């Protein structure tokens, strides 16, 4: 199982890689300006609002038996899945993952495969907002190779990891009925995902 230190180190390496790929191939002035917007995005403010959102959804949705969550089911992971970043205030919906066979991995680019199931009434419920993509939305159609999207995604995932880690240090996730090896993950629909916290 990846440790949180390994997750952070690998995410930093991944960020360097995607930025390098983008700078190597990009010749478009609009995309260059959009990249500057990413560098100027206020991630500190984003992390503060994200922390509040996670705390709210943790109690209101992810562990709320009144909404049909089965408190007896032990989770392998919570996946926060989003669609293509082509709309403002993109949301990543939450899915409770159970019976996941393939969770022994050493790399942060995770292909979940199909050997898992969704927890009872824990499918496509309120997750987290990915508003760091907002300044990318106007340029998504000209980002043909999606290299700029990768820069936004990984930079955002690092902020998400830091936020989840802070909340873990505050014992906020003790209320989740989870297996001994548990992950929070973020990913695009029908693509790979990144772990953002291991417990």
Block means of pLDDT (10 residues each) for the chain, 199 residues, are: 95 97 89 95 98 98 95 96 94 96 82 89 97 94 92 98 98 96 94 94
Residue 112 is predicted with a pLDDT of 84
* Residues paired with residue 94 on neighbouring β-strands, in sequence order: 80, 125
Residue 191 is predicted with a pLDDT of 87
Do the beta carbons of residue 12 and residue 158 sit within 8 Å? yes
Which has the closest alpha carbon to 139: 154, 127, 151, 155?
Answer: 151
Q: How many CB atoms lie within 10 A of CB 126?
A: 16
Residue 78: both structure tokens together: 């919570």
pTM over 0.85: yes
């Amino acid at each position: 199982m990846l440790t949180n230190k390994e997750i952070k180190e690998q995410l930093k390496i991944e960020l360097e890689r995607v930025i390098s790929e983008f700078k190597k191939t990009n010749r478009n002035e609009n995309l260059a300006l959009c990249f500057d917007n990413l560098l100027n995005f206020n991630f500190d403010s984003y992390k503060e609002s994200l922390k509040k959102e996670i705390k709210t959804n943790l109690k209101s949705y992810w562990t709320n038996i009144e909404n049909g969550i089965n408190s007896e089911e032990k989770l392998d992971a919570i996946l926060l899945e989003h669609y293509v970043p082509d709309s403002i205030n993109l949301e990543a919906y939450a899915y409770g993952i159970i019976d996941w066979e393939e969770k022994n991995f050493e790399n942060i680019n995770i292909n979940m495969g199909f050997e898992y199931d969704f927890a009872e009434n824990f499918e496509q419920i309120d997750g987290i907002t990915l508003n760091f993509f907002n300044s990318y939305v106007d340029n998504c159609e000209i980002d043909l190779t999606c290299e700029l999207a990768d820069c936004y995604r990984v930079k955002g995932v690092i902020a998400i990891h830091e936020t989840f880690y802070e909340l873990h240090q505050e014992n906020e996730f003790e209320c989740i009925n989870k297996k001994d090896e548990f992950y929070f993950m973020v990913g695009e629909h029908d693509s790979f995902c990144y772990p953002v916290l291991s417990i």
